[in-house]
Structure 1
Amino acid sequence: MSEWYEKSFGEDYLIVYRHRDFSGARHEVEKMIGWLGLPEGSRVLDLCCGMGRHSLALAEAGYKVTGVDLSETLLAEARSQKGAEAVTWMRSDMRELPLAGGFDAVVNLFTSFGYFEKDEEQVKVLREIQRMLRPGGKFIIDFLNPEHVIRHLVPHSVREEHGVLIDETRRIEDGYVKKDIVLTTGPEGEPRRYHERVKLYTREQFSEMIAAAGLQLDEVHGSYDEEKYVPEHSARMIFRGVRP
């Protein structure tokens, strides 16, 4: 039986998340460059790169970028973008990367974490990040803020994108934020159903996993426009640190 993340990141994902634009990615990359403080030409791994928005913006900024994702559909979308030839694209599970490492930075963005049931599997991802980094290499992990999710969860929403009805139901259950998505094309269309699930971790729990993976946490930001994370208000937990 395949996992939810093996089913959900296909052609319909591009419809559901069409609103994630490339200009927003450029703004976020500008902020990340300031945090990382890396010179042009540095090697950067975008782990779970999706459709390549951040990989392309990082390459535009002068970095040598490798984008890794499990979804061949999203990688094909990334490869179709202008400037895609500047990035090395690769398909892989994030828990076991076919790379030797030596990167100056690894970024893992927009809640591309917490997909697995067991904490040990999440730590495997963090250990791979540690292995990918050279000593002194830096990481950024952009995760949701559980307190914000719980306070602002929208249980149900319906919208239309290019003739496709998108019905989304959200809930907090068993320590996860879960989303069920139903897409229907036209009045006679057969519903297409997907499920997404992300395990919720507090800042303290996430920090413990980072330490268990041999990484050093330096700072937690609340968004790309907030220098400090405030549990009651911040939308995100953006972890920034280094491989000692």
Structure 2
Amino acid sequence: MAWFQTWFNTPYYHILYSDRNYEEAEHFITLLLQDLKIPEGSKIIDLACGKGRHSVFLNKKGYDVLGLDLSEESIKHNQTFANPSLKFEVHDMRNEIFPDVSAQKVDAVFNLFTSFGYFDSPEEDRKIFKSINNVLLPGGFFVLDFLNEKWVKNTLVPEEKLVKQGIEFKIKKKIENQFVIKDIHFTAEDKEHHYYERVKLHSPETIKEYAAELGLETVKTYGDYSLGEYDAETSTRCISVFRKVTN
């Protein structure tokens, strides 16, 4: 079983990342919606939605939202927020979002806060872009919020300890074969635990190539959550905005 199938399904993953900045995330999404001029009532897929914080916020902003995630535990948690214009389903992003692609089309797909780069092969990455292209309406947007490769390499901290909810997480990081590997050790409930994360450092050029191969044109690249200009050396993020080419 892949690392993300086990680690994301544990309560400890959510404990480790429990201090994520909700205000920053909501501010980013608000700016993004305004900049892309996505009308209220539009259909948006939140791909790899986790525990649904972005899906819920998008729905409160007036959008019809479908949150998709591989973690059954996260989707079970999210069902408590569901309503007629906010739905959640278990889904592997490598598969077609709707097997019958003529059944539904959406105005935008958001993949936020580093939910890409988990897979080993370029073929698996291309499957993600293909499924997104198939589900988008002509002119629809795909937003991919990812790590900035050079910034990660320049700022990597090899070791750190974090205490969250009484649990001390010992974390080691390294870059190996273009993957950032994060080793995570901790003791909880009188047991030793070991998990890891492995995310490929895709370059912006590679991401754009994947998109272009499948009919998605690059329209914007932001460098941070305030929609600042992207700089390969100094930007903390690489947030790519693609649009489905209209024929």
TM-score by length of 1: 0.93
> Aligned residues: percent identity?
37
Corresponding residue for 1:13?
13
Deviation at 1:131, TM superposition (A): 0.8
Corresponding residue for 2:43?
43
Corresponding residue for 1:91?
90
For the residues of structure 2 that align with 1:219 and 1:28, how far apart are their CA atoms? 15
The alignment status of 1:107 with 2:107, answered yes or no, reads no
Corresponding residue for 2:2?
3
The number of aligned residues is 239
Task: State the secondary structure of the residue aligned to 2:205.
Answer: helix
Q: How is 1:177-192 mapped onto 2 (pairs within 5 angstroms)?
A: 177-185=180-188, 189-192=190-193
Whether the 8 Å contact between 1:25 and 1:57 is mirrored in structure 2 is: no
Corresponding residue for 2:54?
54
Structure 1 runs not aligned, ≥5 long = none
**Does the C-alpha gap of structure 1 residues 73 and 183 become closer, same or farther in structure 2, counting only changes over 3 Å?**
farther
Q: Which segment drifts farther, 137-146 or 219-228?
A: 219-228
Output one character per residue of 1:144-168: Cα deviation in whole Å (capped at 9) or x when no partner. Answer: 0010100111111112111111111
Deviation >6 Å, runs of 4+ = none
For the residues of structure 2 that align with 1:16 and 1:51, how far apart are their CA atoms? 14
Output one character per residue of 1:44-81: Cα deviation in whole Å (capped at 9) or x when no partner. Answer: 0000001111111100100000000000122233334x
CA-based RMSD of the aligned residues comes to 1.4
Whether the 8 Å contact between 2:66 and 2:86 is mirrored in structure 1 is: yes
For the residues of structure 1 that align with 2:128 and 2:138, how far apart are their CA atoms? 18
Deviation at 1:14, TM superposition (A): 0.8
Deviation at 1:111, TM superposition (A): 0.9
Corresponding residue for 2:228?
227
For the residues of structure 1 that align with 2:48 and 2:182, how far apart are their CA atoms? 19
Q: Which segment drifts farther, 64-73 or 9-18?
A: 9-18
The alignment status of 1:241 with 2:247, answered yes or no, reads no
For the residues of structure 2 that align with 1:180 and 1:74, how far apart are their CA atoms? 22
Whether the 8 Å contact between 2:47 and 2:67 is mirrored in structure 1 is: yes
Corresponding residue for 1:150?
153
Q: Which segment drifts farther, 13-22 or 46-55?
A: 13-22
For the residues of structure 2 that align with 1:103 and 1:88, how far apart are their CA atoms? 14
Structure 2 runs not aligned, ≥5 long = none
Corresponding residue for 1:173?
176
For the residues of structure 2 that align with 1:213 and 1:179, how far apart are their CA atoms? 31
Letter in 1 for 2:183: D
Whether the 8 Å contact between 1:25 and 1:53 is mirrored in structure 2 is: no
